[in-house]
Amino acid sequence: MQASENLPASSVATTADTAPAAPVQPAPSATTAAPAPSAPAADPNAPAARKRPRRRGGQNRQGRKDAAPAASASAGGDGAAPERRPARHHPLLDQLAQWHPQLFGAALLPLKRGIFQDLLDAHPDAIDKDALKLALALHTRSTRYLSVVAQGMARHDLQGQVTEAMAPEHVHHALLEVFRRRQLRSNEDLAPKLRRRIRLAYEASGLARQDYDALVRGRDERANALLDEALAEAAADDARAEALLHAFEASGQDEAGFADMYGMDARQVARQLARARQRRGA
């Protein structure tokens, strides 16, 4: 899953850009300057002449002074983490939560396609069309909403009834966005967790690997690499489950007897056999 706005460097350095530069005294012309007298012999007992430090930077010194606060402002100052920008919220969403708490309340549900028109029809005199469009856009792009879509929950109508299953590609892209936002706030590498979630979403879809791949593959190379890894892991598990199913069918045992014969956990055997049968029918 969500930085205060810093002043741009140009606004901080306005003083340096507009202040007049100090007048520069012209150097004496080489043709008009009086010839320099010959230098007297150095007196070894005389104190050493004090060397005047050379100024550097000239007019650019003021620019550097002003650039420093600009850089610290853009970095948040003193190494402090930038403040998080408050999430945008539309007041109409509070009203929708009162009318339809099962969809917009504390626990969200994915919305059916066409919910925009359903809301306008249900509250014709109470909802402004443009306000509803903006409110729904904010709602469906929020991390809370994307999280329930990423779980693969079905879509629901205004009465809270299921209307259709969530499309696998919508689940996949919601997963990518939720984990992208979480990674921005975490020092932990979340790629392994995302890979596991992609694999679970694939298995829940009931699709063949090539069909699932064709639906969800996008343009993000890193996301596609995780997809490839997740599908490869699932393929290896499918092969093991298929081999187990072959052995079970040849054994003539029931599932409990087969598990006991090979010293395996009966529940794990049941899951693996169910997996293999599902993949056969896919």
Q: What is the pLDDT of residue 87?
A: 53
Q: What is the pLDDT of residue 42?
A: 45
Report the alpha-carbon distance of residue 146 to residue 171 in Å, rounded: 9
Report the alpha-carbon distance of residue 172 to residue 105 in Å, rounded: 24
Report the alpha-carbon distance of residue 170 to residue 218 in Å, rounded: 12
Low-confidence stretches of the chain (pLDDT beneath 70): 1-87, 282
Report the alpha-carbon distance of residue 124 to residue 265 in Å, rounded: 59
**Residue 168 Rama label (left phi>0; alpha psi -120 to 50; beta):** alpha
Amino acid at 258: F
Q: What is the pLDDT of residue 88?
A: 72
Q: What is the pLDDT of residue 108?
A: 96
Q: Closest Cα to residue 92, out of 116, 69, 114, 68?
A: 116
Report the alpha-carbon distance of residue 90 to residue 131 in Å, rounded: 8
- Predicted TM-score (pTM) above 0.75: no
118's enclosing H/E stretch is: helix 115-122
Report the alpha-carbon distance of residue 175 to residue 187 in Å, rounded: 19
Report the alpha-carbon distance of residue 255 to residue 239 in Å, rounded: 19
Q: Quick one: the chain helix, strand, coil %, rounded to 5?
A: 55, 0, 40
Q: What is the pLDDT of residue 234?
A: 94
Number of Cβ atoms within 10 Å of the Cβ of 198: 26
